[in-house]
Amino acid sequence: MMSVPYMASNLYVQPSQAANRKILVFSLLGLVLFLASEALLLRSYVRTDTRPPSWDQSIHMEIALDYREALKEGRLSDAWYLAPKPGMPPFPPAYHLLLTRAYASADPAHAALWINWFYLALLSVSIFGIAWRFRPDETALAAAILFTASPAIQDLLTTQLVDLPMVALAAAAYWALLASDEFLLWLPALAFGVLHAVGMLHKWSFFSYMFPAYLIALRAFRDRRTALIMLVSAALSAALIVPWYSAHLALLPSRLVQASSDFAISAWSPGAWLTYFRQASDSIGPVVWLLGTIGLLAPQYRRRREQGWILLAWFATSYIFWTVVPNRQLRFVLPGLVPIAVGLCSTWPKAVTWGAVVLQLFGMFNFFGGWIGPVKLDLAFYTLQFFENRPPAKEDWKTEEILRKIEAERDPATPISNVTLVANDTYFNAPTFHWMQRRLGLEHARMRGVNRRLCELSDFVLLKDPKVGPAGVVSGLPEAAAEIRDPKGWFGKAYEEIARWPLPDANNAILYRQRRGLKKPYAGKFLVYQHYTAGKVVIKDLTAVFGPWDPEKSVYKTMSLSVGELDIRGLILNGTNIDLVGVGFIPIMKKEREDDWVDVRLLRLERLRIKSLDVGAAELKAFLSLRVKGLVVDEVALDKTVRIAGSYNGKPVAAEAGLQLLDGPRRLKIDIMSVRLGGLSVPLSIFREIKELTVPLYPNPETPFAIELPGLTIANGRLTIP
């Protein structure tokens, strides 16, 4: 009897076993052909594109380089407790350990994209497997193509981000979960446990796509057999996850909260719940997005309908979770949108399904070719966008040339040359420069961002002019650029342009270096202020004694400061005496009087000697209560150690730490000795990564000068130097 998969009445007749095998073989061959096409497109992309990695991409590439160097040098402890990048949480190691393989290539940024292709293959096979369970015919191939060929996935394929692995692993984990028949079968259940762990070891947010799986795990307790299989699967997953997460527990939560607040928009603000709807419509394709979501809401699965709710729950819980999270980027929710492809193919007629496939395939080739689009279709209630694309481009952003110029122009006598970057654009930003520096082995010049004092202690300033970057990410940079361009300002007196490069976006990169041969900023030998304010620093009874001037370096060889009272952001220090060695500065004046200074900008400092300093327990108590939000300090004791007791967000808290000076290299060690929260002792093992904090006293990017402390004493309620 001839099998008829679909009739006009939408009835389904099960194909024969032989026909089923034939469909499976041809569908798998189609999947191989699709993946081969993706490989050819990627090959063309990496041969054409010359742009450097962008913001987060560069960070991931640098983390992989950190791992590579630590493992190559046998520093296993450093690899395990890898220092996170500024302002970012520590990343689980799985993806970055794979990225280390890219550094075997002469072009690691492009080699990393080939690692993405293997994740793309995993994603395609997983979607095919899921779709085949619900509809074992050629539309399983259609489902894999519909989602994987979308501009959103093609964009992730060509970027060095962990997000494509997250999409692939989420799909693979759900395929294993479905295949286990909700923890009824051993092998797929164990595979789910492993895939869940691998996902969590790629990124902490993997759990957010697994809420339906956790519900199924709880339901497994209703039957003894499924309970046993589930517990073994969970134990296997936990055994793989717990070691890394327990070792990084002290830093991870606070950094995650900080990272999730980027570009924060409240979940209750108007339009927040449509943010991902609009983004997905543009980047997945409006036809697939709309038909797929409708298909999930009104599915017509041909078999295993009892499992259909899992796909809808996977989609819905992911969408809700990432809408509540303030930082909304489509790549974060994308692992939860996979079910739309299965919903579309399982619901709509084949003609509609394959028509959508043709549209997606054209969009895939157009993504790399950039022949048309984006094309916008304005409707009365919504604007549809088709054919989002990002073709490769031969663009030289001069990153390597600029870094080599800085290396050639820097003073070789200084261990570190800071460079203030006044820009934050897609291919011209601090993470990109950081990564390129590391890759080229140029360790002396360090890129840093603009602060309230613009470029203090920076030998160089690099400006992208006139456009410093997209409006949403350049807070404070336009003001800094205006200060640089001001012909009557202090910057022009302190810095001079030494090079400029045209950039692909019709802007210029301008490199400034501190002027050489500057005149002595003050003719006298003494300067006295009863009250002096610089930013958030308030000084009372300041006496400055100037030593001889070195015209070659444009610095005072020595300078002594004596301060009666020093207020730094609310921390009161008394009896402060400091010697500065090799200090250069430029005064900022309101009036044309040599001694009428509003502020100064430090240009250079070789060594800072703190001869004496005194801070009391009462002053430290007031400072901590003021600076740490939610902390109420009841007591601070200074007697050999620093002990603090109080409450944090209403819960009792106490801590004790010791301080000591160490050599090789010179640094201040802060050893956390005990922590109590809510009356319970917190195991110090969870603080292992930050238990022994160290403050470098040797030159580093934050303080590019040596700090000398003759000694440190904690006794009788005071911390004193010496």
Query: Coil, strand or helix: which one is 183?
Result: coil
Instruction: Label residue 692 by pLDDT band (50, 70, 90).
Output: low
Last residue of a domain, one of 605, 639, 656: 605
**Cβ neighbours for 94, distance < 8 A, ≥ 6 positions apart:** 198, 201, 202
Question: Minimum mean pLDDT among 38-52, 265-279, 394-408: which range?
Answer: 265-279
pLDDT at 113: 97
Comparison of pLDDT for 275 and 12, the residue scoring more: 275
691 in Cβ contact with 685 (< 8 Å): no
In a domain, 531, yes or no: yes
Last residue of a domain, one of 369, 386, 419: 369
Report whether pLDDT(207) > 90: yes
Task: Report, as an integer, the average pLDDT of 160-184.
Answer: 97
Instruction: Clarify whether residues 288 and 198 are in a common domain.
Output: yes
pLDDT at 472: 81
Question: Minimum mean pLDDT among 172-176, 475-479, 565-569, 669-673: which range?
Answer: 565-569
Instruction: Clarify whether residues 469 and 361 are in a common domain.
Output: no
Query: Coil, strand or helix: which one is 240?
Result: helix
Instruction: Clarify whether residues 558 and 697 are in a common domain.
Output: no
Instruction: Clarify whether residues 660 and 691 are in a common domain.
Output: yes
Q: How far apart are CA 574 and CA 613, in angstroms?
A: 6
Last residue of a domain, one of 585, 605, 625: 605
Instruction: Clarify whether residues 326 and 235 are in a common domain.
Output: yes
In a domain, 382, yes or no: no
In a domain, 460, yes or no: yes
695 in Cβ contact with 667 (< 8 Å): yes
Percentage of the chain surpassing pLDDT 70?
93
Q: How far apart are CA 557 and CA 252, in angstroms?
A: 45
Report whether pLDDT(8) > 50: no
Domain extent, residue 421, equals 399-514
Predicted confidence (pLDDT) per residue in 103-149, tens digit: 999 999 999 999 999 999 999 999 999 999 999 999 999 999 999 99
Question: Minimum mean pLDDT among 294-298, 299-303, 407-411, 661-665: which range?
Answer: 299-303
Task: Report, as an integer, the average pLDDT of 235-262.
Answer: 79
Residue 614 one-letter amino acid: D
In a domain, 96, yes or no: no
* 315 CB neighbour count, 10 Å cutoff: 24
Q: What is the DSSP string of 49-111?
A: --PPP-HHHHHHHHHHHHHHHHHHTT-HHHHHTPPPPTTSPPPPSHHHHHHGGGGGSS-HHHH
Residues in the chain, how many? 722
Q: How far apart are CA 346 and CA 365, in angstroms?
A: 26
Q: How far apart are CA 193 and CA 231, in angstroms?
A: 10
Please provide the average confidence, as pLDDT, over all residues in the chain: 89
Question: Minimum mean pLDDT among 29-33, 282-286, 421-425, 627-631: which range?
Answer: 627-631
Block residue for tokens 């009365």 = 380
pLDDT at 527: 85
In a domain, 255, yes or no: yes
Query: Coil, strand or helix: which one is 616?
Result: strand
CATH number assigned to the domain comprising residue 450:
3.40.190
pLDDT at 590: 66
Residue 257 CB burial class (10 angstroms; 0-12, 13-18, ≥19): exposed
**Cβ neighbours for 587, distance < 8 A, ≥ 6 positions apart:** 490, 521, 522, 597, 599, 600
Instruction: Clarify whether residues 601 and 576 are in a common domain.
Output: yes
Q: How far apart are CA 274 and CA 293, in angstroms?
A: 14
CA nearest to 279, candidates 323, 313, 310: 323
Instruction: Clarify whether residues 440 and 589 are in a common domain.
Output: no
In a domain, 610, yes or no: no
Comparison of pLDDT for 632 and 241, the residue scoring more: 241
pLDDT at 265: 60
Instruction: Clarify whether residues 46 and 192 are in a common domain.
Output: yes
pLDDT at 2: 38
Block residue for tokens 């094309």 = 375
Instruction: Clarify whether residues 281 and 428 are in a common domain.
Output: no
Percentage of the chain surpassing pLDDT 90?
62
In a domain, 69, yes or no: no
Instruction: Clarify whether residues 623 and 600 are in a common domain.
Output: no
In a domain, 232, yes or no: yes
- Indicate the number of domains in the chain: 4
* 233 CB neighbour count, 10 Å cutoff: 26
Task: Report, as an integer, the average pLDDT of 501-513.
Answer: 97
Give CA 537 to chain center in angstroms: 32
Task: Report, as an integer, the average pLDDT of 194-218.
Answer: 97
Comparison of pLDDT for 285 and 571, the residue scoring more: 285
Provide the whole-model pTM. 0.88
Predicted confidence (pLDDT) per residue in 422-459, tens digit: 999 999 999 999 999 999 998 888 899 898 888 989 99
Instruction: Clarify whether residues 599 and 690 are in a common domain.
Output: no
Instruction: Label residue 322 by pLDDT band (50, 70, 90).
Output: very high
Instruction: Clarify whether residues 307 and 453 are in a common domain.
Output: no
CA nearest to 359, candidates 151, 600, 650, 667: 151
pLDDT at 201: 97
Q: What is the DSSP string of 363-374?
A: HHHHHHH--S--
Report whether pLDDT(5) > 50: no
Report whether pLDDT(366) > 50: yes
Task: Report, as an integer, the average pLDDT of 657-683.
Answer: 86
